[in-house]
Amino acid sequence: MKGLRLTIARQTVSSILDTLGDDDFFNIIAYNEELHYVEPCLNETLVQADLTNKDHFREHLDKLFAKGIGMLDVALTEAFELLSNFNQTGRGSGCSQAIMLVTDGAVETYDDVFAKYNWPERKVRIFPYLIGRESAFADNLKWMACANKGYFTQISTLADVQENVMEYLHVLSRPKVIDQEHDIVWTEAYIDSTLPQAQKLEDNQGPVLMTTVAMPVFSTKNETRNRGILLGVVGTDVPVSELLKTIPKWKLGIHGYAFAITNNGYILTHPDLRPLYEEGKKRRKPNYSSVDLSEVEWEDKEDVLRNAMVNRKTGTFSIEVKKTVDKGVSASPQIILNTKNRTALSICLSLCVF
């Protein structure tokens, strides 16, 4: 796999990364006669597909080069064992599992590997991407996809990459379409500008913090439902300031404040979240959309508050706070968890000043 085919392979992997979100976990393994994790420091594990990790792996993709003979059976074995071991840790999302095979050919079907690791349950789907115009090995790769509930795709040019990579999403979405699962998803906070007709929602002009809420769209026809066809996704952008208007500020007290996080612990809104270098300017800080709650709530050293919110617990509890407020020390705050919103969890913090 050299020249243009290697370039297409790199772009294919990069495009696959684009389809992953904060709820996904991944790793990239290159192989010839031996295995080579793209990031050697992250061997034998999966990492969260946040913006920082994806950009880091993309930098290492440029260092890949073709050498030797690809031992696909060794690579498949490593991939299956990686998924199995990671699932046993309980740290993964525990949802759909897939192996994306980007290759220029397969000399056999490697059914012995699948029989050992994936059959008869077939919990891991196989998605082979055949790079190049040659189709001598297409039948083997098609068999691997069909035998493991996956989908085969051939990518001949760079122009084919984006469209063909997206095909696997239709396959993974079929169970949700058949079961009519209307999951509602809220994105992390991001900087954007409101449309002129919507600027009346904002007190300040210019870039503002936004979030997007989206859900899948299914067909009610039995034929479409049985085949599991996802029609699309509908969503709308919501200024974070609109969410803040729902907070009962009179319950917070003079030294109280409220904030919201995503189900991954990233801040949706917080008094200490400063996404821009200068107020009112468009220059954004790097990774501003993936600021973890533990980075601003210093008193929550054991992540008690963070874990409770991520796990959607309700109720009240106290944590020790040592911070000067008006020449006094605030301590024993009351934490009120509110999980009415399934994704963006909010709390009210009331401080007792001594």
14-18, 163-167, 202-206, range with the lowest pLDDT: 202-206
Q: Give the DSSP per-residue string, 105-165.
A: --SS--HHHHHHHTTTT--EEEEEEEESS--TTHHHHHHHHHHTT---EEE-SGGGHHHHH
In tens, the pLDDT along 294-349 reads: 888 888 888 889 999 988 888 888 877 665 555 544 444 555 555 444 433 333 33
- Residue range 242-353 forms a domain whose CATH class is alpha beta
How far apart are alpha carbons 329 and 144 in whole angstroms? Answer: 65
Task: Compute φ and ψ for 123, nearest 5 degrees.
Answer: -75, -25
Give the H or E element holding residue 99: strand 97-103
Q: Where are the domains of the chain?
A: 4-179, 185-239, 242-353
Q: Is 292 helix (H, G, I), strand (E, B) or coil?
A: strand
Total-model pTM: 0.82
**Structure confidence at residue 3 (pLDDT):** 85
**Structure confidence at residue 329 (pLDDT):** 45
Sole residue written with tokens 């890949």: 64
- Residue range 4-179 forms a domain whose CATH class is alpha beta
- Residue 273 pLDDT grade (very low, low, confident, very high; cuts 50, 70, 90): confident
Task: Give a three-class secondary structure readout of 155-214.
Answer: ECCHHHHHHHHCHHHHHHHHHHHHHCCCCCEECCCEEECCCHHHHHHCCCCCCEEEEEEE
**Structure confidence at residue 198 (pLDDT):** 54
